[in-house]
Amino acid sequence: MTADAHAIRTVEQLLEVLDLDSTQARTTEDIFTGSSHAMPSGRIYGGQVLAQSLLAAERTLPEDRAVHSMHGYFLRPGDAGQGITIAVDRIHDGRSFSTRRSQAYQNGVPIFSMIASFQDDDPGVEHAVAMPEGVPSPDSLLPDEQRVEGLPPGTARMLSDRAADVRHVDSPLFLPSDDARVPQQAVWMRLRAPLPDDQRIHRAALAYLSDMTIQESILRAHGVYWALPGLKVASLDHAMWWHRPARVDEWLLYLQESPNARGGRGLAQGRIYTQAGELVASVAQEIMVRVPSRD
């Protein structure tokens, strides 16, 4: 398979995961079902169930009422080998805003729960924090999978098979590096092949990407890397605000920083920009992080 064909196939597989089935079963909720990416760990990638839950909620709304914020909790590890059932509660529909609650289930128990708000496109005041200058362009950086050697075969294959082309401005955090221990980083990312023009797909794909690498602003501050033996990291919650439309198959700059870590938890915050400098979204996530003693 050629590199281009492989890239197209990885994005097709993502679209297959995001293509939920609606069911005829309905009580007070709309019911959808979906599948998962295979993962080396066997656990569902959090950004996947987040994107699926968002798309399920969007399916209960008119196309022109778009998500502007979501707040979700990862309740249990998901099994990537099993299907997912998503129940959507139509909490409120107003003249300009709608609210939905989505809960993703496996084996009859929730693994993820979120509330999201949707709004018609209305005029109003506008400003945005500018994208910093001097960030290296994505074309000047190699993809992550070309910058790391010595990873376990499953991890290396996961990097090359994922739908996203991810390029760290500093060293990727899969293995130890000599980079400064600072609680921030910058990452370029985009999907490897074009997506349909449907903005609902692009919003969901942005949510999918938003869970990727944001935890590293916490790890980088302490010289911790993903392959560190005994490291345990789990996302606890995730919040996101969509500010402006964007294409996720074009380069996006993800600026990440961690203002605090304490009590086995770390908080990470992020801002996502287009290559032209438009602020697209803001993200916040708290993780559980347990670092083994390195005495």
Chain position carrying tokens 């005994």: 230
Angle between helix axes 199-210 and 46-58 (nearest 10 degrees) is: 150
Q: Which residues pair with 176 in a beta bridge?
A: none
Q: Which residues pair with 72 in a beta bridge?
A: 114, 238
CA 9 distance to own-chain centroid: 20
Residue 82 annotated among the catalytic residues of the structure: no
CB atoms within 10 A of CB 104: 27
Residue 13 annotated among the catalytic residues of the structure: no
CA distance 286 to 270: 12
Residue 285 annotated among the catalytic residues of the structure: yes
Among the listed residues 113, 211, 269, 282, the single catalytic one is 211
- Tell me phi and psi for residue 133, to 5 degrees: -90, 160
Interstrand relation of 184-191 and 164-168 (parallel, antiparallel or unpaired) = antiparallel
Which token pair is 253?
Answer: 């700059």
Residue type, 118: F
Strands (E), the chain: 21-26, 29-34, 65-74, 84-93, 97-106, 109-120, 164-168, 184-191, 232-242, 252-262, 265-274, 279-290
In the chain, what is the greatest distance between 2 CA atoms, to the nearest angstrom? 60
Among the listed residues 103, 106, 215, 235, the single catalytic one is 235
Measuring CA to CA, how many Å separate 200 from each of 3, 35, 62, 118, 276? 28, 19, 11, 12, 22
**Which residues are marked as active site?**
211, 235, 285
